[in-house]
Structure 1
């Protein structure tokens, strides 16, 4: 195990970064890396979401690490003392909005089971450091296991402006999708009406107006016989839209068991919000934010050498 030192930014200065040398389960690896801590202390660091493997938060004790992966541990003192943001970083902030890069594994908003370890709750705590009256408002959401660019509003008025004019304000939303199989057509277009079952499974209907209309465009970036990396453009923003449309095409998103995936070699959902471009809700200035495509997506879909 070889530790790499990197102090280029606050998060890395407050983190321990390791390169995995051989296959091993995560908990034993962490216990070796933090030999001065008790087993329970290491387990609690895992449970709190302070451990990232490559590009996703990992909380499973028996997660199988592979040689070459990077494990980042956010120090306890940093998490508490510096009020470090876990599983996310701020890309942009002004008086009206905050734009973040969210890691896979972090909830956007609270659920019945988890109230605190969410992007929304952490940002609420963050803005209240400046003024206890400050608040954060949810504009749109990313699934827990989807990473990438996400925006929040700092007032109810800005939230309403963004949500009520979403189609005209947002100029570009593109995702990177790692899907199973070699996608035959270089470019494609999917249009259907989406409905949701009582068990919260979203599915397509080709009957006009039978649900919410959803339109997805895609192009192949790179592929091999097993995986394809797609750039996906959303013309509509429906729940689980990309996941359902990829299943409809016959190329489900990697790690998406709910919508037909058979594999999960990257340990996360193969979906990443890569680009969000919009006119600022107050100044109307055109802004564009990008989050790099996760390395695991690029590696898996890379053309294999003969």
Structure 2
């Protein structure tokens, strides 16, 4: 029998989700059966799978299968360590805000043994670290990391309810005449791309972006973008469909060494955090 005393990390987490984390190798049907038959109890009583745990609850587990093995942290090279330290633009006991370079991946997978998430888990020596917003590999700029599950849940709710703000600097092909404009469309994920639709179809999600022209060149324009919705590839697809693809976008534009999409502004009112980075010099240099 295993016994767990719930700490603040799992306060308000559903019982079944807590058990799935602790018993990743045990079939979900076995976990539900254990809850239903009383082999898993909370404070000595049978419970429902959707019961939200409270700090101080005692969970007793008597089911076949062992606990998930404790994850081993990756070894951080001196180069990666320098990358982490130099990229941190804000940190307190709850969050870290990191300035990601283009080319860095957020998570392991797709041919990468590790990403920023795995590096930070090792850096802080906790498996509770999570990023609450993600940007594409080819996108650069600010990403928000939570140092505990409690903060992850809190920030995820803030993001979901639109209570955080993010802004981007973008360099696009072509000259845009309007000083300000809004793009509103429906985006739908397909196999390897996201497609834009003018009206709703099954599987599509409404996507709204606001733009302001900052500088114009003879052949390119620097924009500031604010998202009302945060869909996959939203800015990339909408601007490409407008006929002004982001410079360096290999999927929706003409490609290049780097993609000129930079998440420069992040505001979390709940934590009284506001970070703003300057327009990178390379944007002005490439405004031709």
Q: Fold-level match, TM-score > 0.5? A: yes
Taking structure 1 as reference, are residues 169 and 193 closer, same or farther at Cα in structure 2, changes over 3 Å only? closer
Q: 1:200 maps to what in 2?
A: 192
In 2, Cα distance between equivalents of 1:174 and 1:83: 27
Which secondary structure state, in structure 1, belongs to the residue aligned with residue 87 of structure 2? strand
In 1, Cα distance between equivalents of 2:165 and 2:232: 18
Cα shift at 1:85: 2.6
Q: 2:150 maps to what in 1?
A: 157
Q: 1:98 maps to what in 2?
A: 96
Cα shift at 1:166: 1.2
Q: Is the 8 A contact 2:131 2:143 kept in 1?
A: no
Question: Aligned ranges for residues 150-189 of structure 1 at < 5 Å?
Answer: 150-168=143-161, 170-189=163-182
**Which of 77, 80, 84 is the matching residue for 2:78?**
80
Q: Is the 8 A contact 1:220 1:230 kept in 2?
A: yes
Q: Is the 8 A contact 2:158 2:164 kept in 1?
A: no
Q: TM-score scaled to structure 2, two decimals?
A: 0.68
Q: 1:235 maps to what in 2?
A: 228
Query: Which is higher, the Rg of structure 1 or of structure 2?
Result: 2
Cα shift at 1:295: 1.5
In 2, Cα distance between equivalents of 1:276 and 1:269: 20
Cα shift at 1:235: 0.6
Unaligned runs of 5+ residues in structure 2 are 1-75
**Which of 95, 101, 119 is the matching residue for 1:122?**
119
Q: 2:217 maps to what in 1?
A: 224
Cα shift at 1:167: 4.3
In 1, Cα distance between equivalents of 2:213 and 2:183: 14
Q: 2:287 maps to what in 1?
A: 301
In 2, Cα distance between equivalents of 1:293 and 1:168: 28
In 1, Cα distance between equivalents of 2:186 and 2:158: 22
Could you report, residue by residue, the CA deviation over 1:84-122 in whole angstroms, capped at 9, with x for unpaired residues? 235961111122111111111111111231122x21122
Which secondary structure state, in structure 2, belongs to the residue aligned with residue 85 of structure 1? helix
Task: Report the RMSD for the aligned CA atoms in angstroms.
Answer: 2.3
Unaligned runs of 5+ residues in structure 1 are 1-77
The total of aligned residue pairs comes to: 212
